[in-house]
Amino acid sequence: MKLLVRQHLQGMKERGELDVLLPQLLSELGYEIVHHPRVGGRQAGVDVAAVGPDPDADGTRSILLFVIKSGDVGRADWDGTLQAVRPSLGEVLDDYIPNRLPHQYRDLPVAICVCMGGEIQEGIRAQWRGFVERQSTEMLNFREWNGDRLANLILSGILGKELLDPDHRSHFQKAIALVSEPEESYRNFRALLDALAENIGNDQRGTTHLRQMMICLWVLVGNGLDADNFEAPYRACELAVLHAWDALRRCPESAKSRHAERKEILDHVLSLYFKVGQKFMLEKIGPHAAQQHALSAAVRSRSALDVNLALFETMGRAALLGLWHHYIGCSTEGERQREHLKTRNRLLDLAISMVNVNPTLLAPMRDDHHIEIGLLMLLAQGCGRLQHVDHYLREVANRLLFRYVRRSHWVTHYTDYRQLARHPLDLGDEYFQQSTCGSVLVPFMLAGLERLGASEELSALLEVVSGELPHMTQQVWVPSDQTDDCIWRSGETIGFGIPLATRDSDGIGVSLSAEIDAIVSEQQQINQMKAVQHGLVPLLMTACRHHRIPLPPHFWFQPIGKSV
């Protein structure tokens, strides 16, 4: 496992990766962090400052000033630019120590540590040794924290035997080794997170397990990016976001220090999720999204089912990532807001392009594909571009009713791949009624058509539902008071399934959209969930999409004129 960690450290970037990992590692090892990395502004050469035992001075309490560099430090990295190691060390000596060192630590010995994911190359080791000999004093020393030392500290502190037992290490190693086999890699990573989650309480040990999760995730993502395979890293990031939020949600805000630490971990995991999502959706898939059948062909399967499932999965990821940027953009301002809204619009364009050139997205195979369709409609409405996707909902409705009438590969509530691969077993009434006994997609489509004012498509679909599907239970799912305690990690669907009435007692059709609005008004337990209270609504959408939980009607796109 040390080799895996060592290789990952070697490839970590200076900004956003090593400078995030190091403070977490030092904090876990008992150091007091007195200076965190900052973006923008002068840092006088110091990326991280910490107070604690100097391992190279028999554990003497010292202040350690870290100058962080990525990879190996070669000749160009030593003295080639203003950001190289030697100029940075000069800034530490000339500016940070005399002017910025906190007053209460001025009596402590100072250790300036050059920290890197790789090592100092032999070609400049003589220059490094000469610099150290000239500048060292009784109270000032220089240290080399290379990738090998960092790997040892990680393994002894955060991923050590006492914290990551052999069974857990086995899951971790398999997740990394099988990163090019996404399903197996994700399965092992999920087993690792489930095992760690059992020990995440409200104490400091629980925070340690969270840091374990974050570093394991970093290693997995790094190996996935190196292998140019984003599937397992993306799914792992999505699951890790839910685990990190659940740990933060359970930590009482009165425990300010632990709460702040867990919030910082959630921010880092979210940042990693956005990074992987951007690379996956915009950089890898984006250039091909508008090419006719390109993404369908990229599935590399002769099975129409495989293509359908893969394309709906991809569209849902694009829509969900776009909604994350939408909500963050709407809660910020200035340049940051513009960047988030720009990315949101690019993701919507990507999803629309997919729909236009991949006909399989017009014919959902599973009832839970209402999640992806619902996220897309909600994103379009948030962007003020609902008119760009209303034709999509109409066409889905037309094909839906046609397949029900002709009994040709109709939508079913089955989710097991083997059942879907055999579907339909036959065209008889018994199997048809069994495979269409309940649906969330049908009421979603009916309500959506009504809200779009698509009266022709609405009438046609209502006629088919009345004539071909009188046995079907149309329903919605809404959270209950217990949902917040179980949805994030395990995805248990504890909540209320509410059947919908399509006709009143006199047999006259009712407004399904109005009935759903009434349910939304009555079922307000969703507003008691901490994610919603803290403005992190996309967290609940992420849980629904990742765990395949029906999208609550509170997230169905609103009637025209209402905002999301």
Domain containing 53 — which CATH number? 3.40.91
Nearest to 305 by CA among 423, 405, 403: 423
CA separation for the pair 62, 392 (Å, rounded): 64
User: Which of residues 131, 153, 175 is at a domain's end?
Assistant: 153
pLDDT for 70: 86
Are 91 and 168 found together in one domain?
Answer: no
In this structure, are 251 and 343 located in the same domain? Answer: no
**Lowest pLDDT segment from 206-210, 268-272, 300-304, 411-415:** 206-210
In a domain, residue 342? The reply is: yes
129, 153, 177 - which closes a domain? 153
Q: Are residues 524 and 479 in the same domain?
A: yes
Number of Cβ within 10 Å of residue 268's Cβ equals: 21
The full DSSP string for 401-468 is HHHHHHTSS--BS---HHHHHH--S--SHHHHHHHTSEESHHHHHHHHHHHHT-HHHHHHHHHHHHHH
Average pLDDT (42-69) is 89
| Contact between residue 502 and residue 474 where contact means Cβ atoms under 8 Å apart | yes
Say if residue 470 is preceded by a cis peptide, omega within 30 of 0: no
CA distance 28 to 36: 15
d(CA 512, CA 515): 5
Residues 470 and 444 in one domain: yes
User: CB–CB of 513/450 below 8 Å?
Assistant: yes
For residues 111 and 57, the answer to whether their CB atoms sit within 8 Å is yes
Give, as one character, the DSSP assignment of residue 120. B
Range list of H helices, 198-331: 204-226, 231-250, 256-277, 294-298, 304-330
Condensed to tens digits (0 to 9), the pLDDT of residues 66-84 reads: 999 888 888 888 887 778 8
- 243 and 324, same domain (yes or no): no
So what's the pLDDT on residue 1?
Answer: 58
The C-alpha atoms of residue 71 and residue 14 are separated, in whole angstroms, by 8
Q: In the chain, what are the helix, strand and coil shares in percent, each to the nearest 5? A: 60, 10, 30
The answer to whether position 389 is within a domain reads yes
Q: Which of 433, 438, 463 is nearest to 449 (CA)?
A: 463
Domain count across the chain: 3
pLDDT value of residue 447: 94
- Please determine, for residue 161, whether its predicted confidence score (pLDDT) is greater than 50: no
Q: Is residue 278 part of a domain?
A: no
Residue 562 is assigned to a structural domain of this protein: no
pLDDT band of 505, cuts 50, 70, 90 = very low
Question: Which residue do the tokens 């579907």 mark?
Answer: 423
Q: Is 340 found in the same domain as 309?
A: yes
- Separation in Å, CA 532 to CA 276, 322, 444: 25, 18, 22
For the chain, the farthest-separated pair of C-alpha atoms sits apart, in whole angstroms, at 96
Within this chain, do residues 93 and 207 fall inside the same structural domain, yes or no?
A: no
**What pLDDT does 19 receive?**
83
Quick one: average pLDDT of 248-270? 87
Q: What angle do CA 250, 251, 252 make, to 5 degrees?
A: 110
Q: How far is residue 466's CA from residue 314's CA, in Å, rounded to a whole number?
A: 33
In angstroms, the CA 453 to CA 362 distance is 20
Confidence of residue 50 (pLDDT cuts 50, 70, 90): very high
- Mean pLDDT for 266-284 is 93
**In this structure, is residue 281 part of a structural domain?**
no
Q: How many CB atoms lie within 10 A of CB 381?
A: 18
Same domain, 405 and 473: yes
Tokens 């290693």 -> residue: 219
Domain closes at, from 106, 131, 153: 153
Residue 564: inside a domain? no
Whether 162 and 148 share a structural domain: no
The whole domain housing 225 covers 158-268
Task: Give the contacts of 563 (CB within 8 A, at least 6 positions apart).
Answer: 381, 382
373 and 482 co-located in one domain = yes
Same-domain check for residues 110 and 189: no
The predicted pLDDT at position 159 comes to 57
**427 is a domain residue:** yes
Q: Which of 30-44, 182-196, 346-360, 514-528 has the highest mean pLDDT?
A: 346-360
- Contact between residue 45 and residue 90 where contact means Cβ atoms under 8 Å apart: yes
Query: pLDDT tens for residues 416-459?
Result: 999 999 999 999 999 999 999 999 999 999 999 999 999 999 99
Pick 365 or 504 by higher pLDDT: 365
Does residue 199 lie within any of the structural domains? yes
Alpha carbons within 13 angstroms on the beta-carbon side of residue 263 total 11
Looking at the fold, whether 76 and 208 belong to one and the same domain comes out as no
Please name which of 430, 383, 423 lies closest in space to residue 403, comparing C-alpha atoms: 423
Q: Distance of alpha carbon 400 from its chain centroid, rounded?
A: 32
Query: Within 10 A of 233 (CB to CB), how many other CB atoms are there?
Result: 30
